[in-house]
Structures are given as C-alpha cells and as structure tokens.
Chains A and B, each alone.
Chain A
Amino acid sequence: MVSRIEFSVNGRKTVFSGNPLTRLIDVLREDLSLTGVKEGCGEGECGACSVIKDGRLVTSCIIPVGAVNGSEILTIEGIRDTDKGRCLVDAFAEGGAVQCGFCIPGMVMAAYALLSSNPNPSEEDIRRGISGNICRCTGYDLIVESIKLAVRKGGDLWA
C-alpha cells in the first residue's frame, strides 16, 4: 500500500502526503507554484493544463495525485529553458501562434509531445496532435504553421 506519494516534477523529487484525490493541477499550481499550468475547464476537455507524464501528454486537471506515484512529470516550466522548449517558444512567437495565450503553455506541451514522438509530422498529424487543446482565439492556422516552423528550425533536435 502506498502511503507517501513520491514523484518527480521537472526533474525534482516531490513528496505528497495529503489527500490522494487532490488534483495534480492543484499540486502543481498551488503547492509548487508552477502557474504555467493553466486551468481552462477542469474536466480534461480543453488541454490548457496539459503536462507530460512519463513521456505522454495528459491533462493534469483530472489526474489524482495518487495516480502519479513513481511518475516523472514535466510542465512548461521544465521544458522552456531546454533546447526543444526554446525552439518551440521561439517558433510560437515568431509564427504568430500566440494571442490571449491562456491555451499556449498547454499547446506547447502538446507540440513537444508530438514532435518528441513524431519528428516530421504532416499537417494532419499536427492538427491531430493538438486537437485536445482548445484555442478560442487563433482558429489554429498560425499554431499549426508555428509547429511546422519549429520542425524546420529545430532540425535534428526532434530526431
């Protein structure tokens, strides 16, 4: 039986001993001050709270912290100063992907997960890869173009 929930966030070990049903997003935002993780819907529908759990994209608003025991969690704060993260942030800025910005950290995480598993995605792959991340501002075209830009600029980074 697990009594202490241990996991890592952005490479740092974290121990949680409260209610195991506490939503991962609340642990990240409120206990760890990782406010780049945004809450848009609270039910896994909008993707604003997307993080990467053991290499896979998940929505942190519907994951109980008790389910991440032993996991490695990566948030926007953990990737933004890596080569891949910088590549994506720069491409999003240059490509005009960002408007109100509330969906964007989650969108960057989705793009990161996509390119990490598929370094050379088609437009269809990109659209599918971010289809769980709702953006109300852009109509998505410039986000898609920015991800393509990240592929071009990143080159070997994604291979």
Chain B
Amino acid sequence: MGMTYIPSTLSEALHLRAETGARPLAGGTDMMVQSKRGIGLAPEFPYPVMIISGLEELRGITKHEDGSVEIGALASPAEIAASDIVPWHVRMAAAGMGAVALRNSATIGGNIGNASPKGDLPQPLILLDADVILVSLRGETKMKLDDFILGSKKTALKDDEIIRSVIIPPHEFTYSFYRKIGMRRANAISKLSLSAAAVVRDGEILDFRAASGASGPKVIRSYSAEAIIRGRRVEDIPEVLDGFLEAWNAAISPHAMPQYRRNTTRRMLSHFLSSIHDGAEAGIIS
C-alpha cells in the first residue's frame, strides 16, 4: 500500500508525481470504486496516490481565439454539460453520464486517464480530434487523445505526467448524431455509444467522421472507413453505404453482446447517412 498525498498546488503535484510516481485521484468515481474494500474501510492502492481535487490550476473551461475549447482536467461532467462553449457531442456525453451526484464528482481528466472502454467522454472527444495536454516538470506535451488512449485502461501517460486539460479544435458540422445506450434510461454505464458528424456543402460531403464507444478495447475511429464517405456526393451515399458499413463493422471489436453491438452500430450509422441522403434538415439527426 502506497502513501497518500494532498498537494495544494500543481507545482507540488508535479514534484510529487516525479519523485514518488503518485497517481492522481480527483473525483474518485472510478478509482475509489475499483479499490473499494467494504464498509468502514478505506480503499487501498498498491501505489502512492495524490488527491488533486483541490488544484485550481486544473479547473475551468475556456474558449481560445482560434475557436478551440480547452477543458481543465478537473472539470466535471455537470460543468461540461452546462457550458455553452463546449461542442454539442461532448455536452451530450457529459449530460448522459451517471446521474446528478456522479456528474458533480467525476472529472474529464479521470474519465480519460482511466481509459475504460465504457468511459463516456473519450468517444466524442476522439470524434472531434481532441488533444490532451500533459504536464510534467519537464514541460508540456500535446498529443491526440486517440493516440494517448492505448487500449482498455492503458494510456501513454508517463510516470511524471499529469493530465492538465483537453483541447477541442473548432468544427462546424452540418449534421451531428450522438447516442448512448445504457443498461437503463438513466444512471447507467454505457453498453454502446456512437457519435457521427458530417460537413456537407453544395451536395458534397466535405467531412465525415464517426466514433464508436464500448465497442472494443478503446474508442474506435476508422479513418479509412470514413474516407469511403468523405469527398462523395450526397446522392452517391446509397452506392457506398454498404461498403462503408462493412468497413466500420470490421473496425470495431465488441467483446460481449457482439451481435447487438454490431447490428445497432450498423443501424445507427446507416440511419445517419440515409438521413443525409434523404435531405434531412441541417442540425442534429435524432
């Protein structure tokens, strides 16, 4: 069992991280549950831990001049869902996490750092090509979230680094889609989720992308599958739809309930693209 520290500043936290390897614990909604030991007993971790929930430097949601939005690692799903500068897909995912109390406690940094395949926030963030900012005594690094999350519960976080924030580049989609399927209508862990987005101008699909959550060891984006749609004309969708769906199906690797997850993903993607083909009004495809 490791030591537990409560740093007061980010600088203290970075020193602790560098010197002891202490892992950050913020809202506790994942770590406290995974290491719980029962009534009246404190969780135990086989490594040192630092409770970073008090670090002001990791808070806040800001919009930069280039239109990108930076979300501090300690931002809660409640704050994210309520922020009108956060992109729609991310707000939807944040609003659909757990229930009120969890949304007040969990953090975006924790949701990313825990890298659970069922985590709600990585999926739309990866759709939006978000970067994660990692900070250490050595300085700051920026990397694509899709590269940062390596697999189930695995990230590229180095032993001396802390997740500082997430930066979402600006986008203007013509069409957007988001669905989370939980085990019930509220307060549920994700069984499957999907985001999709497209930019259509003058009948040409300039951008198309999708991200599948809870469908494999990490969030799945298939850039090669997306390329089947990207650059096509809307009226060509029926022609390429099956090929795209096959390519997407080949990219995902659901472990449990494979038939359900594959078929539902297929239906959702098909619905999104068919709606575009059928001339749906710009905006959210429901």
Contact = CB atoms under 8 A, between A and B. Distances in A.
A adjacent to B, CB under 8 Å? yes
Given A23-B32, A62-B33, A66-B6, A113 B51 contact: no
B151 to A, nearest CB: 24
State which size class the interface on B falls in: 35 or more
A47 B53 CA distance: 21
B105 to A, nearest CB: 5
Contacts of B282: none
B29 interface: yes
A119 interface: no
Contacts of B29: 44, 62
B201 interface: no
B4 A20 contact: yes
Interface in A40-70: 42-45, 47, 50, 53, 56-59, 62-64, 66-67, 69-70
Nearest to B38: A42
B141 to A, nearest CB: 26
A42 B39 contact: yes
B101 A67 contact: no
Contacts of A99: none
Chain B at the A interface: SS class: loop
B32 A45 contact: no
B105 A23 contact: no
Interface string B27-56: 111001100101111111100010101100
Interface stretch (A80-88, A90-98, A127-135, A147-155): A127-135
Contacts of A100: none
A50 B103 CA distance: 13
A58 B51 CA distance: 17
A157 interface: no
Contacts of A64: 4, 25, 28, 32, 42-43, 51
A156 interface: no
A79 interface: no
B7 interface: yes
A128 to B, nearest CB: 7
Contact of B51 (A3, A20, A39, A59): A20
B104 A1 contact: no
A2 B101 contact: no
A83 to B, nearest CB: 23
A59 B104 CA distance: 9
Interface of B: 4-8, 12, 25-29, 32-33, 36, 38-45, 49, 51, 53-54, 78, 98-102, 104-105, 186-187
13 contacts: A21-B42, A21-B44, A44-B98, A44-B102, A44-B105, A59-B102, A62-B33, A64-B4, A64-B43, A66-B4, A131-B187, A132-B187, A134-B187
